[in-house]
Structure 1
Amino acid sequence: MAIRLGLGLPQMRQYSLGKDVPDVARAAEGIGYDSLWVFERALFPEPATQGLYGVAGVPWPDGYRDVAEPLVTLTLAASATERARLGSSVLVAPLHQPFQLAKALASLDVASGGRVVAGLGTGWSFDEYAAAGIRPFEERGRVLDEFIEVCRAVWGPDPVRYEGRITRIASAVVGPKPARPIPILLAAGTGRALRRLVDHADGWLPVAAGADRLAAQWRQVQDLAAERGRTEPVQTVLRVNTALTAEPYGGTDRRPFQGDVGQIVEDLVAHAAVGLEEIIVDLQSGARDAEHLKDVAAEVHERARAAGV
């Protein structure tokens, strides 16, 4: 069975949110993409107080200046599609009030007929945590733990009861319930985050950084799952952030998924060989507009399938 392919929805400022999201979502489903995905970037600090991913000196991409809210984007996509799964890679869960976000995800799942995939992460931006005002950045792991617990409670049978540091539900009926159990996938790389993934989540959301590195990370996840006695398989969805160019990238410093469509497909073939279940291809930053995005998405899908992905 071929690996599933997902497409990143248009959230950046070169797109018209109300017009282009439904249009691209509908087109992607028609092309044959199995899923549609969003990411979260709440703000763009200026001047930047820290580098990209918290790495000093690495500038934030200009595209992060204007990123549409992820659940609004998914709701627009849900209204225009019938089959494609609707996922986040990722929602920065600790930026949100746990009870309200759990209820919003359940409502979207009901509205879409059971198509939501909740991909979560802790994020890395001090400024976003300060703006959200839920808990301090230093508590991000504990807040994510509570969010997962709140989701399981809110999405489960009534009466719902929960006692946490942020959320307290004495005894309540909470609806609507999801149309089916919503998978929770986590972005995790090391240590406590990997243990959280193996012990409490349904799956893993890595980001592409080379096929060899991905294979080593996947072995680490599998080894930890065996060590901790996990019996359920770990679902796997790889996020690919492309740096699309019109012509082939000829430099010796080419990064994975940097270049024209042919080079991106070559990298898809290499990463698909690792054996994950699904790959999200995000092409939006390199596309001029929605028409260009749809054309490139169709070409990537056709050539990837022809190459055996």
Structure 2
Amino acid sequence: MTTIGLTLPQLGPVVTASLIRDFVQQADDMGFDNVWVQDHFLYALQQSGDYGGSATDQPDVYRSVWAPTELLAAVATWTDRLQLGTSILVGGNHWPAQLANRLATVDRISEGRLSVVGLSVGWSEEEHRAVGVDPRTRGKRMDDFIPALRACWSDDPVEHHGAFFDIGPAIMQPKPTRIPRLMSGMYSKAGLARTARDFDLWNPGSIPISNVVGILEDINSQRPQDKNPVGAIYRLAQQSTAGKRMTVDEMTTRVAECVAADLEGVIIETNFCSEITTSTGWLEVLTNLKPLVEAAKG
């Protein structure tokens, strides 16, 4: 079955705790399966390099971004059914031992509902430098990040000694009640090779579903034979960062295509919708997405 989820209100000046609580509870009532966070913390006034979205520059809503793990922890207390996930955390913004602890804490607060942890290498050179990470190393750093993260969730004493991270031997508690599946947000040739080697899921967005299926086939052709095939959770934006809109009917059709292709899930992104200027506007956008739930459920 294809699950259907939502990115949480997280970007821009409209976001408040009461809005997020109302959004989560309404999403739960509407039958959505999961909710998701993303990961940025700095809006550069002088941007180096290319923005990673569809726009030329980082959209203004990124001037305010609520922190992802803290937001998930709060959401975990406002619903007891919705699964939780990250789409996508930037590896360079984090250190695996600390992130392992924060995510395990979220999982324990939610009583085991942290199901997917999405990670990618990121695009913001300014964010990398702000946390003391050389952006030129982000790919190689990810190669060491995933084994280090998994090691922290393994049986104690945990230990990992790699090119970037030196951990243990040490006790690391709590552990997640179940190990979340790891989802890649990478698209480059090297990133897709990492996806095949180290991840359980892939998180494409915007591209036609036929392309997703083809790329998944390529990923799984590189997959070690002792691992289950990589699946896909598709990210679908009602409005792209460049301002391109999809109608609810168009989105419903895309969700049905995901179901037909037997993709594992769909995440609906609404943080960039230009009509959202109030809390009421956020909830109205959510209300209008009911046909997408019906399409995912068949």
TM-score if structure 2 supplies the norm length?
0.89
CA contact (8 A) 1:189 1:217 kept: no
Give the alignment partner of residue 238 of structure 1, picking from 228, 234, 241.
Answer: 234
- Give the aligned CA root-mean-square deviation in angstroms: 2.4
How many residue pairs match? The answer is 294
Q: Please list the CA deviations of residues 21-49 of structure 1 after superposition, one character each: whole Å capped at 9, or x if unmatched.
A: 22211211111110000111221111333
Give the alignment partner of residue 110 of structure 1, picking from 108, 118, 136.
Answer: 108
- Equivalent residue runs for 1:132-147 within 5 Å: 132-133=131-132, 135-147=133-145
- Tell me the CA shift for residue 91 of structure 1: 0.2
Q: Please list the CA deviations of residues 260-301 of structure 1 after superposition, one character each: whole Å capped at 9, or x if unmatched.
A: 322322333334433211000011321333333333323323
Q: For 1:207, give the aligned amino acid.
A: G
Separation in structure 2 between the aligned mates of residue 198 and residue 230 of structure 1, nearest angstrom: 12
Q: For 2:280, give the aligned amino acid.
A: E
Which residue of structure 1 aligns with residue 267 of structure 2? Answer: 280
Q: Please list the CA deviations of residues 213-249 of structure 1 after superposition, one character each: whole Å capped at 9, or x if unmatched.
A: 3232223223333xx42541323211112218xxxxx
Q: For 1:288, give the aligned amino acid.
A: T
Which residue of structure 2 aligns with residue 22 of structure 1? Answer: 21
- Structure 1 counterpart SS, 2:168: strand
- Equivalent residue runs for 1:1-309 within 5 Å: 2-53=1-52, 58-116=56-114, 117-133=116-132, 135-225=133-223, 228-243=224-239, 258-286=245-273, 287-306=276-295
Flag structure 1 segments of 5+ consecutive residues without an equivalent.
Answer: 245-254
Q: For 1:77, give the aligned amino acid.
A: V
- Structure 2 counterpart SS, 1:118: strand
Q: Please list the CA deviations of residues 116-156 of structure 1 after superposition, one character each: whole Å capped at 9, or x if unmatched.
A: 121000001111111111x3111112222222112211111
Separation in structure 2 between the aligned mates of residue 152 and residue 259 of structure 1, nearest angstrom: 38
- Shift in CA distance, 272/208, structure 1 to aligned 2, threshold 3 Å: farther
- Structure 1 counterpart SS, 2:187: coil
- Shift in CA distance, 190/229, structure 1 to aligned 2, threshold 3 Å: farther
TM-score if structure 1 supplies the norm length?
0.86
Separation in structure 2 between the aligned mates of residue 98 and residue 308 of structure 1, nearest angstrom: 36
Separation in structure 1 between the aligned mates of residue 296 and residue 98 of structure 2, nearest angstrom: 43
- Structure 1 counterpart SS, 2:11: coil
Separation in structure 2 between the aligned mates of residue 78 and residue 54 of structure 1, nearest angstrom: 28
Separation in structure 2 between the aligned mates of residue 238 and residue 120 of structure 1, nearest angstrom: 14
Q: Please list the CA deviations of residues 66-121 of structure 1 after superposition, one character each: whole Å capped at 9, or x if unmatched.
A: 11111121112111011111111100012212211111111111111111121000
Q: For 1:240, give the aligned amino acid.
A: L
CA contact (8 A) 1:7 1:33 kept: yes
- Tell me the CA shift for residue 212 of structure 1: 3.2
- Tell me the CA shift for residue 307 of structure 1: 7.9
Flag structure 2 segments of 5+ consecutive residues without an equivalent.
Answer: none
CA contact (8 A) 2:238 2:269 kept: yes
